[in-house]
Structure 1
Amino acid sequence: MQDVLIPDETDLRLVQALQAAPRATWHEIGRLIGVDSVTATRRWQRLAEAGSARVTAYPDVRLWAQDHCNAFIEVDLQPTARAEAVAVLSRVPQIASISIVSSGRDLFLTVLTPDLATLSRLVLEKLQQLSGLRGTRTHAITTVYGEGNHWRLDALSPQRRGYVPPATGNRPVWKDHYRAVLRALEDGRSPAADIAARTAKSGSTVRRWLNEMIDGGLLSLRCEVAQPITGWPVAATFWARVPPAELHRTATALTELPEVRLCAATTGADNLVMTLWLRSLGDIQRLEAELAGKLPALTLTDRAVALHAAKRMGCLLDDTGRITDVVPIDPWAPF
């Protein structure tokens, strides 16, 4: 991986185009940003090799929260045990994201499991095996109102979508062959032929299944970007309390803010959690004042700055925030 890559405006337009259409052809991407397909391909390869961007695939967390189990887990450790714990937890496919955070907690995990029983085993068995563990706090997610696959480099609110109520009628479900496709999607732009080779199915069959997963809302494809190149270098998490009658309206309004990457309702006294990308530490105070004026039902109870993101939606990150490897998210994997 290259030590330094400073993307130019064409690179950034390329990333934003892939944020909007992660599996578009290079001809389509090139036409959108004003270059030929060869140039678009070459620039993407350069960004990927430098760890600046990657397309990932994972279960759509909003739909997943309706039928399965998402959770935030706070982990407290002895200081000398943190590095080993991060190394171990980074390889757990159910743990989508790991941040080392400030404000009275060591690690903040985002977890996807098929059900509450699996989440319980993860907490009571896997986490309890960590050396130097002091304690954990688990917050089950009841509703996801917005998440990072709708965030754009320029953070334009028209590109964002808040919580969409469940559609009536039959809802899509995860079938065994869908799971096989997900496991084969280490790279979200993998051609159908490559996925077919990994799953021992025909290319046409895999292409049909993949379209069913995307069209049905089961699968999220996300162009993950190294935070240093975004212009939003500070990550923070806010915990809040909102009266139940105001929760939906407040959370939906939060998803329209360009700083908000994830907004979810949770169990516990703090019933709303949001993660944010900010341009500076000073923006924390500015945003708090803005929220107090616009959303009077919202009471912020705690906030924490991410000292280092070790894993983000399956992507392993180095100390500079660049992508070094990927552990595909697989809620059904044994552990």
Structure 2
Amino acid sequence: MQDSRTPDETDLRLVHALQATPRATWHEVGRALDIDPATAARRWQGLTDAGFARVTAYPDVRLWAQDHCNAFIELDLEPTARAHAVEVLSRLPQVVSIAVISSGRDLFLTVLTPDLPTLSRLVLHDLHRLPGLRGTRTHTVTTVYGEGNHWRLGALEPQRRAQPDRHIPSTASRPVWKQHHRDVLRALDDGRRPAAEIAAGAGKSGSTVRRWLNEMVDGRLLSLRCEVAQSITGWPVSATFRARVPPDELDRTGVALTELPEVRLCAAVTGADNLVLTLWLRSLGDIQRVEAELARRLPALTLTDRAVTLRAVKRMGCLLDESGRITDVVPIDPWASC
């Protein structure tokens, strides 16, 4: 049950530590923060009970874009149909994120499916069954340059911060999804769930599940993210930018954008606007400041659209209330039947 407690500086440092290493033991977290492991565990339980933070698990979206299908889908709805659409879409395990946004569209979805035919069925059949749907626009992802599991709260001293590893395994060394990997993913509604607990539910040994987890994390099949309620981050405003970049400048521009602290997501997509950015900002006025900075640093980039998130409904499987706190989790499962 959520409470009214306000996270303090130690709580924020704890969240940052788990952003860097989401499945670290409490002894490791305690050493990093100079606190007792039991205190770290107790504080984390308080944060999760209050809906301020949770570790979530999902396929590594950068690799998924190379071998499977990521997409952003914009939905236009009759005003009276939005609440029902949100309720239905929130429970679909392929729809990993949902935002109610401004600037001429109603919902902005992030979707993971195994392949293009599955995406087509989702859009053309399942979404089009929604009452009050006026239209959809689908933008398939070609490259993910950066995403939210590399975003950091900034609460730890620089010497305590782990640097994100952006290496992507080569095709030759990369593992592929197998049924047991899918089973583990579906069991990770809590990304910190112990291997022994997953094993008990699956009728497997703890050592076997730990080996599978290591395969998934080391091989970059699986991403783990310490998700945090945006209201406590100091970055309460979320915006989505669409941009146009010449093809020969796209990779360089995408990589450069991931270095900006405001950028949570940067992905190349199909269409005339070939780049999508999601940003967390300190104020609405920051939108203009960031636009000016982008114009100065990246002259090849032309911003074509800006939309403010009016409400985040779901973020990487986490269901959010109107204040942005986590109320529940729908385990991500791109292979699920709609």
TM score, norm. by length of structure 2: 0.96
Superimposed CA distance per residue, residues 9-35 of structure 1 (whole angstroms, 9 cap, x where no aligned partner) = 100010000000100101110111111
Superimposed CA distance per residue, residues 54-98 of structure 1 (whole angstroms, 9 cap, x where no aligned partner) = 000000000000000000000000011101100000000000000
Question: What is aligned with 1:297?
Answer: 300
Matches within 5 A, 1:1-335: 1-154=1-154, 159=163, 164=167, 167-335=170-338
Amino acid aligned to 2:41: T
Distance 1:297 1:158 in 2: 32
Asked whether the equivalents of residues 100 and 106 of structure 2 are also in contact (C-alpha less than 8 Å), the reply is yes
Secondary structure of 2:231 counterpart: helix
Asked whether the equivalents of residues 191 and 224 of structure 2 are also in contact (C-alpha less than 8 Å), the reply is yes
Distance 1:24 1:199 in 2: 23
Distance 1:323 1:152 in 2: 18
Q: Decide whether aligned partners of structure 1 residues 158 and 275 sit closer, same or farther in structure 2, where only a CA change above 3 A counts.
A: farther
Secondary structure of 1:39 counterpart: helix
Asked whether the equivalents of residues 78 and 132 of structure 1 are also in contact (C-alpha less than 8 Å), the reply is yes
Amino acid aligned to 2:254: A
Asked whether the equivalents of residues 146 and 264 of structure 2 are also in contact (C-alpha less than 8 Å), the reply is yes
Asked whether the equivalents of residues 260 and 274 of structure 1 are also in contact (C-alpha less than 8 Å), the reply is yes
Q: Cα offset for 1:154?
A: 1.4
Q: Cα offset for 1:4?
A: 1.9
Distance 1:132 1:224 in 2: 32
Distance 2:171 2:196 in 1: 34
Amino acid aligned to 1:323: I
Distance 1:280 1:248 in 2: 29
Distance 2:287 2:256 in 1: 18
Distance 1:276 1:60 in 2: 19
Q: Cα offset for 1:126?
A: 0.9
Q: Cα offset for 1:228?
A: 0.3
Q: Cα offset for 1:5?
A: 2.4
Secondary structure of 1:253 counterpart: helix
Secondary structure of 2:48 counterpart: helix
Q: Cα offset for 1:170?
A: 3.3
Q: Decide whether aligned partners of structure 1 residues 8 and 48 sit closer, same or farther in structure 2, where only a CA change above 3 A counts.
A: same
Asked whether the equivalents of residues 160 and 256 of structure 1 are also in contact (C-alpha less than 8 Å), the reply is no
Amino acid aligned to 1:59: P
Q: Taking every aligned residue pair, what percent have the same amino acid on both sides?
A: 77
Asked whether the equivalents of residues 3 and 50 of structure 2 are also in contact (C-alpha less than 8 Å), the reply is yes
Amino acid aligned to 1:53: A
Distance 2:291 2:5 in 1: 34
Distance 2:230 2:205 in 1: 37
Asked whether the equivalents of residues 151 and 160 of structure 1 are also in contact (C-alpha less than 8 Å), the reply is no
Secondary structure of 2:58 counterpart: strand
Q: Cα offset for 1:158?
A: 8.5
Q: Cα offset for 1:169?
A: 2.1
Distance 2:84 2:170 in 1: 43
Q: Cα offset for 1:250?
A: 0.3
Q: How many residues align?
A: 334
Q: Decide whether aligned partners of structure 1 residues 118 and 308 sit closer, same or farther in structure 2, where only a CA change above 3 A counts.
A: same
Q: Cα offset for 1:259?
A: 0.2
Asked whether the equivalents of residues 20 and 162 of structure 2 are also in contact (C-alpha less than 8 Å), the reply is no
Q: Cα offset for 1:264?
A: 0.2
Distance 1:273 1:262 in 2: 8
Asked whether the equivalents of residues 62 and 144 of structure 1 are also in contact (C-alpha less than 8 Å), the reply is yes
Asked whether the equivalents of residues 152 and 159 of structure 1 are also in contact (C-alpha less than 8 Å), the reply is no
Secondary structure of 1:207 counterpart: helix
Amino acid aligned to 1:23: R
TM score, norm. by length of structure 1: 0.97
Distance 2:213 2:174 in 1: 16
- Gapped runs of 5+ residues in structure 1? none
Secondary structure of 1:206 counterpart: helix
Asked whether the equivalents of residues 160 and 255 of structure 1 are also in contact (C-alpha less than 8 Å), the reply is no
